[in-house]
């Protein structure tokens, strides 16, 4: 998801040896739909049960590159190396490169804990970094590394082989890197998911089209069985998965606007979506920009923002939806949780979440102020009602009008919930008395 490594996530969900020559002659120069000796509709016959030898792998990669070109309408400028590793080896690599190494939480980690705690998706008894590590270790099926210009496929089979869908997905990322953009480093949770809505939405769109052609006009290798990959469906996974699930809808909408070609999608790499609202609701892209929500500090008695260059975040519509779904507010009516479209999260206009901290003799204490602005007063009332339902699902007591206390558990804290016009403000602190110190009432 980050620009440094572009991932493919897996949703919870034989033949003779040798290579057949292509149907048509070598065109003599590189052409769309032809790569390294193979046209997109050439046949291949390889043995997949015992994995792929080097020659077989090169043939599979070449034909898949040609097919991705044929669908996406962009020419590969260079061949992309592909490595296949087991899931165990992938986990070992995460540990060895420090990606999955436990240790003392950094200041950023402690700041980010408050963001995910505010969404009721990760409580005080578990590290959000550990949750991310679990999601990626279980669900990553491949990644493209721009710095190395290479693809790594994570195989769950006993004899590691290549999943054609994962390979096609990651090859799209290589095309993006060669011709377009991988999105840089967005500065908020919402903008990162929004940018990935194009980057991952494009790759998933091509992956789906590839699969559709395998069910019709193309002869394709059988996909290997999954041996354990796949993320556990919870609110954290649902948030991370937004670009993969909602992004293809935006890509499809952009193609329709351009009469079926890829020009509008390519243009989106010059003007990425500004919010997950624009990904979930393509009609909002590009004109419905999020509003700026200001949180003026009204702290006292030692409470202050974190000493970070970025000391506030925007979580956005997708994360709010995940919060409502994970805490039982979105009704289960045989609808897919991956629609990200619900009445109490629709109408989002913008938000700012500011974590605070206070040093005490017993260590640091934490709180936050979260302000969400909605398109209409009716939208604000719907969210206000839904947020109180989240509190009730966590056994919160309303101790006076708009003030709640959760006595036990990983979200044990005090909350003040204010509704004013189109704005809902949530103040969080360890105790009722601390609420006035984190944010004194106006």
Token pair belonging to 246? 């909602």
Do 315 and 246 lie in one domain? The reply is: no
Domain boundary among 230, 256, 284: 284
Report the C-alpha gap between 230 and 13 in whole angstroms.
Answer: 7
Do 24 and 97 lie in one domain? The reply is: yes
Report the C-alpha gap between 403 and 424 in whole angstroms.
Answer: 14
Report the C-alpha gap between 19 and 16 in whole angstroms.
Answer: 9
Do 276 and 391 lie in one domain? The reply is: no
Pairing of strands 150-155, 82-86: parallel
- How many domains in the chain? 2
Do 157 and 267 lie in one domain? The reply is: yes
Secondary structure of residue 277 in the 3-state scheme: helix
List pLDDT tens digits, range 322-363: 999 999 999 987 578 999 999 999 999 999 999 999 999 999
Per-residue model confidence (pLDDT) at position 158: 75
Q: Is residue 299 part of a domain?
A: no
Do 26 and 114 lie in one domain? The reply is: yes
Do 313 and 354 lie in one domain? The reply is: yes
Q: Is residue 292 part of a domain?
A: no
Q: Is residue 1 part of a domain?
A: no
Do 229 and 348 lie in one domain? The reply is: no
Domain boundary among 254, 284, 314: 284
Do 253 and 391 lie in one domain? The reply is: no
- Lowest mean pLDDT segment, chosen from 24-33, 87-96, 119-128, 150-159: 24-33
Task: Look up the pTM and report it.
Answer: 0.93
List pLDDT tens digits, range 168-216: 999 999 999 999 999 999 999 999 999 999 999 999 999 999 999 999 9
Token pair belonging to 278? 């624009």
Q: Is residue 17 part of a domain?
A: yes
Do 35 and 69 lie in one domain? The reply is: yes
Average the pLDDT over 318-324 and give the result: 98
Rounded to an integer, what is the distance from CA 88 to the centroid of its chain?
23
Do 151 and 226 lie in one domain? The reply is: yes
Do 163 and 79 lie in one domain? The reply is: yes
Q: Is residue 341 part of a domain?
A: yes
Domain range for residue 346?
A: 304-438
Do 223 and 356 lie in one domain? The reply is: no
Q: Is residue 294 part of a domain?
A: no
List pLDDT tens digits, range 106-131: 999 999 999 999 999 999 999 999 99
Q: Is residue 338 part of a domain?
A: yes
């Amino acid at each position: 998801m980050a620009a440094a490594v572009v991932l493919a996530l897996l949703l919870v969900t034989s033949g003779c040896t040798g290579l057949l020559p292509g149907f048509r002659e070598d065109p003599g120069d590189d052409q769309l739909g032809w790569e390294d000796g193979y046209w997109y509709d050439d046949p291949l016959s390889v043995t997949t049960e015992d994995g792929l030898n080097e020659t077989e792998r090169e043939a599979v990669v070449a034909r898949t590159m040609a097919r991705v070109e044929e669908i996406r309408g962009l020419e590969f400028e260079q061949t992309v190396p592909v490595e296949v590793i087991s899931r165990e080896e992938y986990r070992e690599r995460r540990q060895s490169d420090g990606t999955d190494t436990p240790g003392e939480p950094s200041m950023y980690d402690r700041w980010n804990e408050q963001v995910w705690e505010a969404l009721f998706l990760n409580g005080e008894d578990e590290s959000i970094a550990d949750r991310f590590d679990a999601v990626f270790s279980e669900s990553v099926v491949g990644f493209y590394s721009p710095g190395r210009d290479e693809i790594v496929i994570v195989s769950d089979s006993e004899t590691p082989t290549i999943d054609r869908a994962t390979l096609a997905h990651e090859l799209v990322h290589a095309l993006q890197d060669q011709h377009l953009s991988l999105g840089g480093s967005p500065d908020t949770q919402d903008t990162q998911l929004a940018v990935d809505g194009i980057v991952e939405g494009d790759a998933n769109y091509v992956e789906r089209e590839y699969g559709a052609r395998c069910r019709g006009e193309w002869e394709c290798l059988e996909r290997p069985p999954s041996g354990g990959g796949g993320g556990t469906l919870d609110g954290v996974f649902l948030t991370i998965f937004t670009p993969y699930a909602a992004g293809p809808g935006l890509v499809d909408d952009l193609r329709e606007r351009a009469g079926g070609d890829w020009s509008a999608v390519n243009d989106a790499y010059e003007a990425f979506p500004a919010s997950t609202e624009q990904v979930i609701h393509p009609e909002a892209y590009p004109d419905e920009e999020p509003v700026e929500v200001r949180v003026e500090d009204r702290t006292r008695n030692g409470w202050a923002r974190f000493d970070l260059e970025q000391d506030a975040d925007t979580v956005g519509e997708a994360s709010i939806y995940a919060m409502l779904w994970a805490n039982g507010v979105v009704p289960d009516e045989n609808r897919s949780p991956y629609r990200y479209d619900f009445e109490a999260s629709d109408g989002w206009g913008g938000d700012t979440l500011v974590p605070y901290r206070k040093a005490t003799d017993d260590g640091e204490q934490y709180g936050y102020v979260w302000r969400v602005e909605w398109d209409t007063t009716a939208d604000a009332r719907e969210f206000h009602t839904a947020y109180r339902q989240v509190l009730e699902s966590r056994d919160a007591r309303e101790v006076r009008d708009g003030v709640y206390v959760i006595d036990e558990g990983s979200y044990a804290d005090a909350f003040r919930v204010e509704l004013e016009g189109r704005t809902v403000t949530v103040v969080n602190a360890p105790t009722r008395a601390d609420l006035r110190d984190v944010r004194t009432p106006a």
